[in-house]
């Protein structure tokens, strides 16, 4: 049996960069080969096909995003301050030179009307629901279930907006003002 001579996580990270910049459909197997440095046979043997690799990329992206949210909120003095810090970090990321938006949101937008790859759309949607559930679970430490649910949805809508608007407009000050108006319950300075 052939020995695997690469680190799976590195291949997933390199593929994540490619998919984030090109999307699923526009990323060819040849580009994946060039980006990862693997031969096509190694990719097919280890990941199955492009869709399976993409699913692993989405899983990794989601896990890293959720870990980042947990780290930010857990490191703050309060839940609301942690959520605010996460939103401020999201704004800062969205205006950086190498920013490529949210891979989960981009996947939903790209594959919305594609019946053949709809399972990837649904997979991305479920990953986003997990992120929303994470925010809700933190908020439930401070608020009742209904308020927590409403605020988690509001946070997600605002994050989606920042991810798309920031990519297009690049004005941190304007986005922060919009977040203050839309999320007045957070401890803005």
Mean pLDDT of the chain: 89
Classify residue 148: in a domain, yes or no.
yes
The pair of structure tokens assigned to 74 is: 């857990």
Structural domain containing residue 117:
58-182
> What is the count of structural domains for the chain?
1
How far is 27 from 70, CA to CA, in rounded Å?
31
* Cβ atoms of residues 149 and 136 within 8 Å: yes
In angstroms, what CA-CA distances link 158 with 17, 37, 52, 70?
Answer: 24, 37, 30, 18
Domain-embedded: residue 122: yes
Whether the CB-CB separation of 188 and 84 falls below 8 Å is answered with yes
pTM score, whole prediction: 0.88
Cβ count within 10 A of residue 111: 22
pLDDT (tens digit per residue) in 84-143: 999 999 999 888 867 777 889 888 888 886 655 468 888 999 999 999 999 999 999 999
pLDDT tens column, 43-69: 888 898 999 999 999 999 999 999 999
- Neighbour count for residue 157 (Cβ, 10 Å): 13
CA–CA gap between residue 87 and residue 21 (Å, rounded): 22
| pLDDT at residue 5 in the model | 58
Rounded to a whole number of angstroms, the CA Rg of the chain reads 18
- Whether the CB-CB separation of 84 and 104 falls below 8 Å is answered with no
In a domain, residue 5? The reply is: no
For residue 85, the domain's CATH number is 1.10.357
Residue 38 lies in a domain: no
């Amino acid at each position: 049996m052939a020995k695997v001579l690469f680190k799976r996580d590195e291949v997933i990270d390199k593929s994540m960069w490619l998919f984030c910049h090109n999307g699923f459909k526009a990323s060819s197997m040849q580009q994946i080969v060039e980006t990862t440095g693997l031969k096509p046979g190694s990719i097919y043997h280890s990941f199955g096909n492009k869709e399976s690799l993409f699913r692993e990329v989405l899983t990794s992206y989601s896990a890293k995003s959720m870990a980042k949210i947990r780290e930010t909120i857990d490191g703050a003095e309060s839940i609301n301050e942690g959520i605010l810090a996460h939103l401020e970090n999201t704004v800062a990321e969205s205006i950086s030179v190498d920013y490529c938006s949210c891979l989960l949101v981009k996947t939903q937008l790209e594959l919305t009307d594609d019946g053949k790859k709809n399972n990837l759309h649904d997979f991305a949607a479920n990953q986003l629901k997990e992120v929303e559930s994470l925010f809700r679970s933190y908020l439930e430490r401070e608020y009742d279930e209904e308020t927590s649910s409403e605020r988690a949805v509001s946070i997600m809508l605002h994050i989606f907006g920042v991810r798309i608007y920031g990519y297009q407009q690049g004005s941190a000050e304007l986005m922060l003002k919009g977040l203050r108006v839309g999320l007045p319950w957070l401890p803005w300075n």
